[in-house]
């Protein structure tokens, strides 16, 4: 075999130079990967908080709308199961009749906590569901727990004219989104048939 003479202009990388450049590349890629993973976690956390806030707002809007138009409200609780039922009687939206309608919001701590709603027109009695809500209930949100574990209540109606809402909605790695608000009904009449 014939050996070719090496030129002084030929340059290459030594093994040490190759190892150092590979180590630097791995270090840069690890930093970039860490930043990307951290960014994705932050985005996921922000998305979970936004979803929890939307769930909380949906529940609050539904209850505030019903309570503001109510002619009577009451809350019943089952301390054994931790369930609650907020009932409201209101005049129907049909301008041709003064027939009342009944609306209820149901909280159950099972399966991470959920809030449901239902409405009856013409007005008929709505009872606290036994064994969970059936098909006529619409789920407003999940991941709901009472903000005050001592009382264990999501809804509270200390008077016939206001409803206090105090609950948390689970938000992934973020602890929760907390709701602490009160809504009022302009009317103060006593509960009576057919809604109660």
The C-alpha atoms of residue 20 and residue 46 are separated, in whole angstroms, by 39
104-117, pLDDT tens digit by residue?
999 999 989 999 99
Looking at the DSSP assignment, which residues form a beta bridge with residue 138?
Answer: 117
Percent of the chain past pLDDT 70, that is, above it, reads 91
Helix, coil or strand: residue 72: strand
Question: Are 48 and 172 contacting, i.e. CB atoms less than 8 angstroms apart?
Answer: yes
1-19, pLDDT tens digit by residue?
556 555 566 677 788 888 8
pLDDT bin (cut points 50, 70, 90) of residue 69 is confident
Global confidence as pTM: 0.78
Helix, coil or strand: residue 91: strand
What pLDDT does residue 6 have?
57
The C-alpha atoms of residue 37 and residue 73 are separated, in whole angstroms, by 49
């Amino acid at each position: 075999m014939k050996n070719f003479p090496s030129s002084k202009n030929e340059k290459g990388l030594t093994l040490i130079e190759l190892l150092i450049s590979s180590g630097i590349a791995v270090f840069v890629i690890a930093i970039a990967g860490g930043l990307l993973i951290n960014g994705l976690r932050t985005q996921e956390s922000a998305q979970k908080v936004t979803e929890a806030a939307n769930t909380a707002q949906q529940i609050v809007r539904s209850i505030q709308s019903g309570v503001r138009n109510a002619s009577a409200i009451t809350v019943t609780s089952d301390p054994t199961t931790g369930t609650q039922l907020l009932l409201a009687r209101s005049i129907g939206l049909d301008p041709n009749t003064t027939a009342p309608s009944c609306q209820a919001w149901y909280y159950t701590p099972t399966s991470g906590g959920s809030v449901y709603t239902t409405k009856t027109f013409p007005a008929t009695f709505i009872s606290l569901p036994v064994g969970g809500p059936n098909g006529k209930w619409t789920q407003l949100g999940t991941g709901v727990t009472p903000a005050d574990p001592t009382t264990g209540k999501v809804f509270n109606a200390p008077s016939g004219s206001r409803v206090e809402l105090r609950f948390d909605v689970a938000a992934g790695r973020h602890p929760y989104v907390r709701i602490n608000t009160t809504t009022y009904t302009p009317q103060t009449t006593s509960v009576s048939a057919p809604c109660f």
